[in-house]
């Protein structure tokens, strides 16, 4: 019995030991695989992190270098600009504060010019509309003698011309138009020089209006004396010796005054100057004065841009062409609005059957 017991005690440990070994092997293998997998994952994450850091560093370096390059270019441009200014003016370099003041003045001047241009471009229209309210006289159709042979003639006047950018747009119009320039003032000092850019031009003579609130400097008033009127005409004639045709800027109050119109037209006639009536009021006395002096009067037939939209401007242009074909000639007045000038540049298709002329060719 004792021997049998020994045999059983010897066999049992061997089986357990074998099972234990197998379990241990499996445990080690699985642990190794897990650790290997975790290590591989960690290695990938580390690589990505490193790549991101390198990318960020390179981006930062690129941004830094680009900014440095831009700063350098800006500095070079400033230096070149100041050098050119010095060469142009041949003066001592101006301090920064002075430069700022100069820029501010230029900006203010540009704003004033734009505001003044906007006001002037609406001046005749406002004057005409107000004069229609204040006066009881109805608008009359101008009777014209049909003394023309060949094509009927149409003259287009562009009022309120004051600045170079307006002149440049008018020069793009591919047919004859007549610019009418303001006498020079502080706001538009270059009108004398600009008038020489055209073969034919007019003077836009400021006269007193019924209700216009932004009159030009040295506007002739109903209260102006005969001498004041004559002196003003003499002054403008000296400034623009090549120009012989004048039309009124606003003027509903002045042109409806018989005494003042006699002074003005009779004196202009003695100086070989011609008055063209913009007809800013139905009560104008220009026709009566010219008839008494046996002078032929030219008057506006149509305002092109009472409504400064392309469709309405084209309709008014068609109306002017119709009047020209019926009466032999017509005068249309427009203003240097952006829409007006752009429409006139493209308006040739609407001008068939009429000859485009300057005012002095009528």
Segment 132-163, tens digit of pLDDT: 666 666 566 556 655 567 899 999 999 999 99
| Tokens read off for 109 | 């001047």
The DSSP bridge partners found for residue 250 are: 207
Rounded to 10 degrees, the C-alpha dihedral 153/318/175/251 comes to 80
Ramachandran angles phi, psi of 214, nearest 5°: -130, 65
Cα Rg for the chain, rounded, in angstroms? 44
Of the candidate ranges 82-96, 208-222, 233-247, the one whose mean pLDDT is the lowest: 82-96
Output the pLDDT for position 1: 47
Q: What angle do CA 251, 252, 258 make, to 5 degrees?
A: 90
How many angstroms separate the CA atoms of 276 and 298, rounded? 5
Among residues of the chain, what percentage have pLDDT more than 90?
57
| Tokens read off for 199 | 């073969």
Provide the pLDDT confidence category of residue 197 given band limits of 50, 70 and 90: very high
Output the pLDDT for position 89: 58
Rounded to 10 degrees, the C-alpha dihedral 341/343/349/354 comes to -50
Mean pLDDT of the chain: 82
At 21-71, the pLDDT tens digits run 777 777 778 787 888 777 777 776 766 666 665 555 555 555 556 667 677
| Tokens read off for 335 | 């203003």
Output the pLDDT for position 30: 78
Has this prediction a pTM greater than 0.75? no
Provide the pLDDT confidence category of residue 98 given band limits of 50, 70 and 90: very low
Query: Residues 157, 330: contact at Cβ < 8 Å?
Result: no
Of the candidate ranges 52-61, 140-149, 297-306, 315-324, the one whose mean pLDDT is the lowest: 52-61
Instruction: Render the burial of 128-149: b for 16+ CB within 10 Å, e for the rest.
Output: bebbbeebeeeeeebebeeeee
Provide the pLDDT confidence category of residue 9 given band limits of 50, 70 and 90: very low
Of the candidate ranges 39-43, 255-259, 358-362, the one whose mean pLDDT is the lowest: 39-43
Asked whether residue 91 carries a pLDDT value surpassing 50, the answer given is no
Q: 3-class SS at 85?
A: helix
How many angstroms separate the CA atoms of 339 and 43, rounded? 70
Torsional sign, CA 311, 313, 314, 316: positive
In the block, tokens 């003066």 appear at: 91
Asked whether residue 265 carries a pLDDT value surpassing 80, the answer given is yes
At 331-348, the pLDDT tens digits run 999 999 999 999 999 999
H and E: helices and strands count for the chain: 11, 9
Asked whether residue 239 carries a pLDDT value surpassing 50, the answer given is yes
Of the candidate ranges 88-92, 121-125, 161-165, the one whose mean pLDDT is the lowest: 88-92
β-pair type (202-207, 355-356): unpaired
Query: Residues 260, 224: contact at Cβ < 8 Å?
Result: yes
């Amino acid at each position: 019995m004792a021997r049998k017991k020994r045999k059983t005690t010897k066999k049992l440990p061997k089986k357990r030991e074998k099972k234990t070994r197998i379990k241990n092997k499996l445990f080690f293998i699985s642990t190794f695989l897990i650790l290997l997998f975790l290590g591989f994952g960690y290695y990938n994450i580390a690589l990505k992190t490193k790549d991101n850091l390198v990318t960020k560093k390179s981006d930062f370096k690129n941004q830094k270098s680009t900014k440095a390059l831009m700063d350098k270019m800006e500095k070079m441009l400033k230096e070149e600009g100041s050098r050119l200014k010095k060469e142009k003016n041949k003066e001592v370099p101006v301090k920064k504060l002075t430069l700022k003041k100069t820029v501010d003045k230029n900006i203010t001047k540009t704003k004033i010019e734009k505001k003044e241009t906007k006001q002037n471009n609406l001046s005749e229209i406002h004057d005409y509309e107000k004069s229609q309210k204040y006066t009881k006289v109805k608008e009359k159709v101008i009777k014209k003698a049909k003394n023309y042979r060949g094509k009927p003639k149409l003259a287009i006047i562009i009022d309120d011309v004051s600045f170079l950018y307006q002149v440049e747009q008018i020069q793009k119009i591919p047919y004859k138009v007549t610019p009418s320039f303001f006498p020079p003032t502080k706001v538009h000092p270059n009108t004398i020089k600009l008038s020489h850019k055209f073969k034919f031009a007019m003077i836009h003579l400021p006269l007193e209006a019924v209700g216009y609130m932004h009159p030009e400097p040295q506007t002739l008033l109903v209260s102006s004396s005969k001498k004041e009127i004559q002196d003003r005409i003499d002054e403008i004639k000296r400034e623009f010796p090549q120009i012989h045709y004048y039309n009124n800027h606003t003027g509903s109050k002045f042109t409806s005054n018989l005494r003042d119109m006699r002074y003005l037209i009779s004196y202009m006639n003695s100086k070989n100057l011609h008055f063209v009536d913009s007809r800013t009021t139905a009560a104008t006395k220009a026709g009566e004065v010219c008839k008494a002096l046996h002078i032929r009067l030219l008057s506006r037939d149509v305002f092109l841009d009472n409504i400064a939209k392309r469709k309405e401007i084209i309709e008014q242009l068609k109306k002017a062409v119709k009047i020209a074909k019926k009466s032999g000639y017509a005068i249309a007045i427009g203003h240097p609005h952006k829409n007006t000038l752009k429409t006139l540049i493209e308006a040739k298709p609407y001008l068939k059957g009429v000859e485009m002329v300057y005012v002095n060719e009528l």
